[in-house]
């Protein structure tokens, strides 16, 4: 009888999915990530995203690439070869300056980023704020409007299985 793993907790389904997703991010393989995210319910997708963000706390390049993927800037492996990824570059800048993805800012499909923590954004160096304002269409909205947009985007991202 094999005692392999005896007395130690076994990885959960989420742990395995996070491990796979982290590996796919390192390989810059968006199609493989799609195979994970397209087949999970929203609540499990959120857990996988949380696990990916935690795994990349010290890997800003992979985390910013993942933000580009989540914003639909990188949809196919060939997209990795394109020289211009504004969302990925902006994400890297924001992360480097101390903003946390999915807490202080959120990448959304359609090559968008929503600043969730406006106070933290406004505390960034003025030149960074100016670059962001020049490069992107910035719109202020009330918390209610932001929630309405967030709900609409979540509805758009929700896949129903029949």
Instruction: Give the model's pLDDT for residue 59.
Output: 96
Instruction: Give the model's pLDDT for residue 160.
Output: 47
Domain layout of the chain by residue ranges: 13-157
Which DSSP state fits 10?
Answer: P
Instruction: Give the model's pLDDT for residue 93.
Output: 92
The pTM for the full model equals 0.80
* DSSP assignments along 18-61, one per residue: HHHHHHHHHTT-HHHHHHHHTTS-HHHHHHHHHHHHHHTTT-HH
CB 126 within 8 A of CB 73: no
Which of 62-69's residues contact partners 24+ apart within 8 Å by CB, and which partners?
62/22, 62/25, 62/26, 63/91, 63/95, 63/101, 64/88, 64/89, 64/91, 64/92, 64/95, 65/25, 65/28, 66/25, 66/101, 67/91, 67/101, 67/107, 67/113, 68/107, 69/25, 69/30, 69/33
Instruction: Give the model's pLDDT for residue 37.
Output: 92
| Distance (Å, whole) CA 46 – CA 86 | 24
Nearest to 50 by CA among 23, 86, 22: 22
Instruction: Give the model's pLDDT for residue 162.
Output: 45
Please list the pLDDT of the chain residue by residue as tens digits (162 residues).
455 556 777 888 999 999 999 999 999 999 999 999 998 888 898 899 999 999 999 999 999 999 999 999 999 999 999 888 999 999 999 999 999 998 988 888 888 888 888 899 999 999 888 888 777 766 666 667 766 766 665 665 554 444
């Amino acid at each position: 009888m094999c005692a392999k793993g005896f007395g130690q907790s076994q990885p959960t389904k989420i742990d395995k999915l996070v491990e796979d997703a982290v590996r796919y991010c390192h390989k810059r393989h968006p199609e493989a990530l799609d195979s994970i995210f397209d087949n999970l319910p929203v609540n499990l997708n959120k857990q996988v995203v949380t696990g990916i963000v935690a795994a990349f706390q010290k890997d800003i390049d992979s985390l910013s690439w993942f933000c580009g993927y989540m914003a639909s800037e990188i949809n196919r492996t060939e997209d990795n070869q394109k020289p211009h990824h504004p969302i990925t570059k902006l994400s890297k800048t924001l992360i480097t300056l101390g903003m946390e993805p999915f807490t202080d800012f959120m990448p959304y499909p359609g090559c968008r980023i929503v600043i969730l923590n406006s106070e933290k954004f406004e505390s960034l160096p003025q030149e960074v704020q100016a670059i962001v304002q020049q490069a992107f269409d910035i719109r202020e909205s009330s918390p209610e409007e932001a929630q309405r947009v967030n709900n609409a985007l979540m509805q758009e991202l929700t896949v129903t299985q029949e």
